[in-house]
Every structure is written in structure tokens, then in C-alpha cells.
A and B are shown apart, each in its own frame.
Chain A
Amino acid sequence: MRAAIAATFIAALALAACAPDAPEAPAAAAPAGLVPAERAEKVALGLAHATAADLYAALKQRANGGAPLSLDDMPDWTGLWQRVGPPFFDPDQPRGVLTSAKLKPEPLAELTRRRELSAQGIEYDPISDCGPPGHPRWLAIPFLREFIVTPGQTYLFSETVNNMRRVYTDGRDHPSAADAYPLAYGDSIGFWSDHTLVIHTSQVTAGIYHRNDPQYSEQLETVEVWRKTDPTTVQVDVWVYDPVMLEEPWFVQQTYKQVPNEDGYLRVGYWYCGENPNNAVEKTDEGTSQFSDFTFTDRDNK
């Protein structure tokens, strides 16, 4: 058997040595120009389109429909990643600013009220009771992430409550309106242009962008443009459209840095939120949080 393997190996080497010139790979669709480089222009790009679906269609047209990934030429997004920035949906939001989103009056008043209550210690977060953050909040939560790229589907994973977004890049469309209903992570379809992934997400459940951020409605839709900008950085341009809550599309940029893991010791395990009894949290009548079947006593501070 070993002789057969050796003979096969030598023959393959010999054939490779006299191989004709490989045909040049077809030029990949250049991502340069898919989206502008400057933030102000990206904001303007969002404003130039009435809906997320319009922006997605425009980007797809600009990329000539995109090009399916081939196993011969896959982007390397392996490894473990973590988000960079403060716990706000917009990492570039200046300190002291309520939000960088252009909110409609009602959600603006609601955010103001929530922030005032929060300052008094009155706060409830749906993930306190082990619910999923949902999308687009998924983009802003902490802890480890993996981005698993396959030709027909990209899996965007965050270890918090094991939430996995599935982005279909095999040409399928969203479910028809008759079959669609709100989902924590919505329904995501996308296309590749070179090694840039463009995603359109719809069908989300209503939620909050982060604890101290605005609410969003079920009408929210997003367009994301993902690319690896250097060996340890993945950047995502995000345009959020939500006609119920936003006066205009909200552009933010998220950054994920690869976590050093040379010895391979860092591994993502199953996140069982309910394992910690402190996670059984209920919302009280006044809107704050209370541990289930658990009452603090004055000894708890000792």
C-alpha cells in the first residue's frame, strides 16, 4: 500500500511539474466602490435609498449580481472574534449624547424616559431572562464570536445564548410575505462581491439596540456590508431602516477583532443561560428587574 501511495505521489508531482500554464482566474468583482470609504458618504448612501431593500438592490446591481463563493477562493474568517467599542449600538457615538440615531418624537421621548429611569436604578432588559438579543442588537453584544463562511451560507455566531444568524448566499430569496413572520434574528439573504459579504435582513421581532439605546419596531430592516480589512479585523457597515422609529436610516460601523488563541485553548462552549439561578429575572410592575423566587436581605451586602 505504501509503495502505491509513493508511486501515486511521485506521478502527481511529475505531472504537476510539466503542467501547462493555469488559465488566469477570472477577475473578481472589485469591492472597491461598492460602498464609499468616508462615513459621511456612507450616511448619504443610506439617505439616497428609501428602504433597506432598495439599498440592497442597488449594491447588488453595482456588484453585477455578486459572484458565488468557490471553495478554491474562500475568505479566511476563521478564529474567535470580539466586538470593539462601548456598549452602544453606534460605537462612534460621542460621550454624553443620548443617541446618534435620528429618532421620531415618540421613540425619542421613550428613550429619554428609559434613560432617566435607568439613572434611578429602574431597568429591565429582556436578555436578563435569557431571551435572545435579536438582530440588530446581535451586532453590539459582547463575548466571543465566530464567522463561519461556506459557499452557500455564512453562519454568524455569538456565544451569548448560542445565537446563530444564518445568511443564505445561495441565491434564495426571502420567504414570501404570506409565509413571513417576526423572528429574533429575522431572515437574512446575501451575496458576495470578491470577499465582501452584503446582507439584507428583514422579518425581525421588535427590540432594543442596547440597554441604553433606542427601541426598534418589527418594520426594521438592515443592510450590512462585511469585510475583513486586515488579518485581525472584520468591519461591518450597517444601515438600519425603521420607518416607525427612525426619521432617517441610521448608519453605524461595527468592528470585530480576532482574539489571540495560538495554543488553541480558547474554545466556545455551550451557553446555558439558565444554569445561573441569578438569570431567572422577571420584570416588575414598575418596570425594573427582580430575581425570580429570590429576595435580597440586608445580609446580601455582607
Chain B
Amino acid sequence: MSASTRRRSFYAPLFRIGVAVLGTLAAAASFAAIQLPTEKAALIALGEQHRTAWDLYKDFERQANGGQRLNPARLPDWTGIYSRSGVLFNWDQDQGRNRMPTAKLTPEYEKRLVTKLDNIEKGIEFDNLSNCAPPGHPRWMTEPFLRDFVVTPDQTYLINEMVNDIRRIYTDGREHIPAADSYPLWNGDSIGFWDGGKLVIHTNSLRSGQYQRTQPEYSEQVETVEVWEKVDDKTLVAQVWVYDPPSLAQPWYTKHTYLKLSNEDKSLRIRYWDCGENQNNTVIQTENGSSQFRDFTFTDKDN
């Protein structure tokens, strides 16, 4: 071994330790920009302090000094298969068993919700999903079944296995599609940036829909800001502010939690979801707003 080689061997471990320490310091110094309150009341107030979802997003972006492009060699580890935790069909977990949600609805949308809930109690209900339509965002947040989250330096894919539902979050600095070229999309148009381990997303260009079957409706003006973060080895948390002037009297803040499923033998794998494979899924809406299987009539023998 030459003298120079021995010197390199001696210094190399010190160098690696130094880089690791400095890397950690740099990360702590530059990534801790967005400081979210911990209390729900303060998070609600944060939404109210901003007139639009875009204002809130730009405020986060300012706090993060524009965010940082992910280091391709040190991507956040969001691998694995996840599922939403909590009461699946409540947009806000804090709704509990209450009939009405925690949203501050406008009178028109509150009336619509009351009518819908009354009809559901009478067995009159139709859900677009029954006919294999996608839930769309923001309802995407609340759907059950398996999910995986694929983080790449310039794009993050948020995937729900149900109807192969993939949201694409562009973190490469691109802007939204200009207003002249945009139109309502099931999952809208999502751009974002990273601030340390936090992924901040703004979504617009959405279609109208409902948060869930027993939840309010939202209009095409709905926009969201999400802050995603892995808070421990098996938990991803998304904090969401929804702005929708026609339906919401004030922004609706909620928190959504996704838990990593145990899959040590790796036998759990996400497969293609062919909704139409099950002919029970061919459902049409009847004239009174209820659901009926297509070309299928129940008889008394079906019971």
C-alpha cells in the first residue's frame, strides 16, 4: 500500500462522518422552514387566514424559501402498501357519529346534504362509483383499499388501487396548466414542492363531486392544499385544507392518516382493478335518484 493510499484510507472514514454531520445540520437548518401548528383550532385558523388555497400554498412556499428539489440519492422512504385508517367514510375523523360533518357549509350545500341524508335513510341513493367512475379528488383521500406512494425526484405518484386511481404531483417546478387550457379533471392538476420530509401540494382544475356517500358535495371551484409527511416508520399523515366558495363558508381543515400494512413475506401485491369484471358493478341511476343493477331484476328467490 502506497503512502498516499494509506492517507486516503485514514481520512476517508473521518470525511464520511463529517459529511454526514454537516448534511444533518444543513438539513435541519434548511428543511425546518414550514412550522405547522399542532392544535386543530390553529390549523383551522391558518386556513381562514388565507383567502384561497393558492394563497395558503404560496405562503407555505415562501416559508420554505421555494422548497428544495429532492436529492435523488436520498429520497424519502414511502415504500410499502398503505391503507387509510379511522372511520373510512367520514371526511373528518372528528365527525364521529354525528349526522352532520364538521364543515361550515353554505346554506345551499347544507340543504343539499340534508336532502341527501334524508334520502339515504329511505334507501334512495346513487353513487357514481357504483358505475365504475373514479371517486376523484378530494374524495380520493377517503377511499378504502390499498395504496402505494411512489416518490421520485421530480414527481410523486399517489396511488389508490381502487379503479387504478393515480394522482400525479409535479415537483419539478412546473406551474399549473394555464386557465385557458385547463378543464375539470377527476384528480385535477397537482403541483407541489418538498420542504424536508414534507410534500406540499396545490390541486385545482377539479370536477364537482362528493367527499363521501354521507358527506357534503363540492363544486368545480374546489381547490386543496395538502401537506404530506411520514411521521413514523409506518404512518403517513396528510393535512388538508379545502377551499370551495360555493359549498364552504370557510376552508375545511382535516387530517388523514395512512398506515403501512404488514407485508413481511411480500405476498400482498396490488393488482389491476377491473371494475367492470363484476357485473354487479353495472349500476344505473333510476329516475328517483336511487340505484339499479343494469339488465337485472331481483326476484323473491334472490333472498
Contact = CB atoms under 8 A, between A and B. Distances in A.
Interface in B65-109: 72-75, 79
A8 B29 contact: yes
B74 A71 contact: yes
Instruction: Please classify how large the interface on chain B is, using the bins under 10, 10 to 19, 20 to 34, 35 or more.
Output: 35 or more
A34 B25 CA distance: 44
B79 to A, nearest CB: 6
A110 B303 CA distance: 42
A20 B272 contact: no
A270 B134 contact: yes
B272 A8 contact: no
B270 interface: yes
Contact of B166 (A78, A175, A270): A270
A143 B166 CA distance: 17
Nearest to B22: A12
A19 B15 contact: yes
Contact of A162 (B152, B163, B266): B163
A72 B152 CA distance: 13
Interface string B260-288: 00000011011110101100000000000
Interface in A114-163: 129-132, 148, 150, 152-153, 155, 157, 161-163
Contacts of B276: 129-131, 274
Given A71-B72, A270-B186, A15 B274 contact: no
A268 interface: yes
Contact of A78 (B11, B19, B152, B177): B152
A118 B274 CA distance: 26
B150 A155 contact: yes
Contacts of A12: 19, 22-23, 26
Contacts of A19: 15
A264 B22 contact: no
B164 A172 contact: no
Interface string A63-94: 00000000110100010000000000000000
B127 interface: no
Contact of A20 (B11, B23, B172): B11
B285 to A, nearest CB: 13
Contact of B8 (A21, A72, A74, A168): A21
Tell me which of A16, A168, A170, A270 has the highest count of chain B C-beta atoms within 10 A of its own C-beta: A270
Contact of B272 (A185, A268, A275): A185
B257 interface: no
A219 to B, nearest CB: 19
Instruction: Please classify how large the interface on chain A is, using the bins under 10, 10 to 19, 20 to 34, 35 or more.
Output: 35 or more
B48 interface: no
A5 interface: yes
A97 B154 CA distance: 44
A179 B8 CA distance: 53
Interface string B146-177: 00001010110101000111101010101001
Given A9-B26, A168-B266, A274 B132 contact: yes
Contacts of B271: 183-185
Interface string A256-282: 000000001101111010110000000
A72 B74 CA distance: 8
Interface of A: 1, 4-5, 8-9, 11-12, 15-16, 19-21, 23, 71-72, 74, 78, 129-132, 148, 150, 152-153, 155, 157, 161-164, 166, 168, 170, 172, 175, 179, 183-185, 187, 264-265, 267-270, 272, 274-275
16 contacts: A1-B29, A8-B26, A11-B22, A12-B22, A20-B15, A71-B74, A78-B152, A163-B272, A164-B164, A164-B166, A164-B272, A175-B267, A264-B170, A264-B174, A267-B170, A272-B134
Give the 6 A-B residue pairs with the shortest CB-CB distance, closest first.
A264-B174, A162-B164, A270-B186, A20-B8, A172-B266, A184-B272
